[in-house]
A and B are shown apart, each in its own frame.
Chain A
């Protein structure tokens, strides 16, 4: 019964979210009251011009920053009043991050990078490695486990980053321009991987992107402008519909 209720709770719920930077003349309103719910298993893409507040929204949802006003719930749990340690636990267990610049630690091997969130959570290195290998297998990068990030291509590094994001089986995977540093072929591969995660594992993904060709891989598209949500639509799942969407010039680029 509880599990059923939990499954009905949205993975992400955002209410009246606002974020202001600076004060006086330098005051910038990055977000101006965003309301948003993301059901479990949905793939959401957020687009918008530079400065529209996409990354800020992602940072607030991911607990990397705190809102000026408004609230963020992850899996029905309010994150607003959590102290720093509790917020770290939310990031550790319920959120997985994929960054544009991969953010892998150069001093660790790919396997150790993937295992890191588990090690931080107190798992033994052996147990963490086992799960990390499984995560790497899931994203097709296990053959590069013993390599250092500097020895991997951009696409491979991002796969490792995705594996790291998935290793704790988080409720939400947050991706910040995950293809921004990749060439088209590798970018497409990463997007296929993300799509696959949603389709096969029911993974909730919240992705910020500039690229409309990658945004159409999502189930839902949110458009931001000047810190406000200006459009929101469900995306058709067939290729024809997506091509139509692209033709309409959804992407504000």
Chain B
């Protein structure tokens, strides 16, 4: 049967409704696609960076903590079956002082004779490094930072400031093409000198023969390694960044699931309204002999067409949104991300989700519409009042909520693995939302009864009539209430969650950053938090400055615990100030002694993943092999998502190889803060170092988060826009359906402004009815999101409802509803009377 023509005409005849449905689908698809693409890009970023840096090397030998080691086993490695070439390198994060400021970059110490076998170099100008004190940079990077061929380039290194000569400029290909060209190649001896690791390397890259399995070679290589060394795939260095991204990814995944539900609900809403309006047309088709299956198929086909068109629109919107969101993630990560790649997986998912969600949302209504009583469809006089609401959707909704709650038990009690919890949480959120929406029709009636006594006193007789119209159409009313409800729930839940996190980060910064100032070479990227170390001796010069009382030192050290990459924050502590920890478990009074004894303070996520608590211990891979480290306390930690632990710096240095200092933490003398700041500013200006006060640090964190926060607020605003379209739809339908009634009311003396007031009264009533459950469920979902994160991050962000924010959301719902009512109100008020009285 070819009823497509009829379907398409229906869609064309109602452009507003078609657009609303398209937007609903496009919104859901765009959110899912943009989030999937951004997550893919950020996950790929570090993996690709290390893979590209490693070039053709499939494996690398590194020391625990990525520190230096003597490459005494090169011959033994060459003998391993499957190894074609052994390339020792030095790889570290460092800082370059350019005419345009200090910038962080990866320093690669290479053997220019051998390195071509591992990496590809395409020179734009100049040549490869040959002699000591020569450096090669990426051409674009050099241009941006005002560095010229043949001119000196200054590096800030653990051994102090070093000046090298720029001898070559590379095209942005291979390793030079990663992280925005933030990479420098120097001879291996130069790198050893700059990093204070004479005669040592910190990576031996292994290029394998074609067709060799890396895992088999790795197995053989392990036998040739001394304790403290390990063999790994270069990409595994990126795994630490995955931890730091986890909570952001979690929020984005929840957002994408909720967007999908919201989109599906908008489709359901408009589709149900459309079916209600087309009752007679569908009955005619059936009277003319169309079977139920034919009608169902026609309606599903209609939804699928809209789904495909919505998906196409959503894919375009999603791609555009992903570009903006990638910039936001770059800001958050503090590092350039690779070019956004429109990978087939997310695109295919988006293409399927569009028609899939449209068909899923419309299947049951279409099936039911095809089974409606033929006579009531054909003869309006038989139709009477809207049939009573079906109870089964509400029962199903309650069942979903109960099932969801049951699923939450193992999640909240952390009985499931973190990966399973991560996968289940968005489903749980979406399920909870779907359940709450299905229950909505059940509560709309009682809620209308609650507001009913207020309608007459507040809105007069118009309010009472408006309420009557809403009560006449319980299904449509509850659907519209549902759209506003979902907008409120999403905004309140996500917004509360965001605000709680922002507050918590502020509190964490306050407790953790107790130093008055911090001196460092560059801001590390937040994904791997690899610092560019400065010479230790700078401490003596800093402490000698006027107003400076004490200098503490901090290093970010890549470490491995039980095979997992974690970050060790090795630092000294100011004895005159409280310890800079946001304690979750442990004894604050004993902590200083415990740290001095070499015990560790672990972040909640690490504690959660490795089931650690005060008194327990973990095996840290050190240069002398695995060593048990006792846990002194568990703390809130935002660095690398909490997959980090602290140790006293001296104790850590005995276990792992790291040189220089990543951050100097400066304590000012009492009352001499201003003087200290002035001296430090001068000092840092002269040395081209970065000075951050506590306020600067907080501002930096805020800037970092601004992009992601803006993306999330924008997504929430979009939900409200779509909801407003839903309200326009309902009020227009209500008004049109009651055209004759409005005509009669006008005929018996109702003024135009009274008609307007009546339609606006409906809008206010709809908003009032959706605000009550919307606020309640929104706060409930926010709480649920809050407690659920404990299962992943190992700690619960302190939960608080931001009352002004919630009131603002409720006011926004009322405002959106009123704005949406403006057009139908105007239309009804200006209706020609005779035409209205004849309206069918």
Contact = CB atoms under 8 A, between A and B. Distances in A.
A206 interface: no
Interface stretch (B284-292, B489-497, B644-652): B284-292
B372 to A, nearest CB: 12
A119 B286 CA distance: 13
Interface in B767-824: none
Contacts of A116: 6, 285, 288
B6 A108 contact: yes
Size category of the binding interface on chain A: 20 to 34
A93 to B, nearest CB: 7
B838 interface: no
B3 interface: yes
A120 interface: yes
B378 A93 contact: no
Contacts of A84: 291-292
Interface stretch (A97-105, A182-190, A212-220): A97-105
A6 interface: no
Contacts of B290: 88, 92, 120
Contacts of A85: 291-293
A143 to B, nearest CB: 22
A135 to B, nearest CB: 13
Interface in A87-114: 88-93, 97, 99, 103-108, 112
Contact of A117 (B6, B289, B293, B378): B289
Contacts of A105: 6, 281, 284
Contact of A59 (B1, B292, B375): B375
Contacts of A97: 287-288
B13 interface: yes
B1 A88 contact: no
A88 B13 contact: no
Contact of B291 (A62, A88, A93, A107): A88
A119 B2 contact: yes
A89 B290 CA distance: 8
Contact of B289 (A92, A103, A107): A92
Contact of A108 (B9, B294, B374, B378): B9
A117 B288 contact: yes
Contacts of A99: 378
B151 interface: no
Contacts of B280: 103
Interface string A171-207: 0000000000000000000000000000000000000
- Counting chain B CB atoms within 10 Å of each CB, the highest count among A88, A93, A117 belongs to A88
A125 interface: yes
B687 interface: no
Nearest to A170: B289
Interface string B602-613: 000000000000
A121 B289 CA distance: 8
Contacts of A90: 289
A62 B284 CA distance: 13
A168 B291 CA distance: 16
A164 interface: yes
A231 interface: no
Given A84-B292, A103-B280, A107-B9, A120 B287 contact: no
Interface of A: 59, 62, 64-65, 84-85, 88-93, 97, 99, 103-108, 112, 116-117, 119-122, 124-125, 164, 168
Given A64-B378, A88-B292, A104-B284, 11 more contacts: A59-B375, A64-B375, A88-B290, A92-B288, A103-B287, A105-B6, A112-B6, A120-B3, A120-B285, A120-B290, A125-B2
Closest 7 pairs between A and B when the two form their complex, measured CB to CB: A92-B289, A107-B9, A88-B291, A91-B289, A117-B288, A85-B291, A120-B290
17 contacts: A62-B287, A64-B375, A84-B292, A85-B293, A89-B291, A91-B287, A91-B288, A97-B287, A105-B6, A108-B6, A116-B6, A116-B285, A120-B3, A120-B288, A120-B294, A121-B1, A164-B288
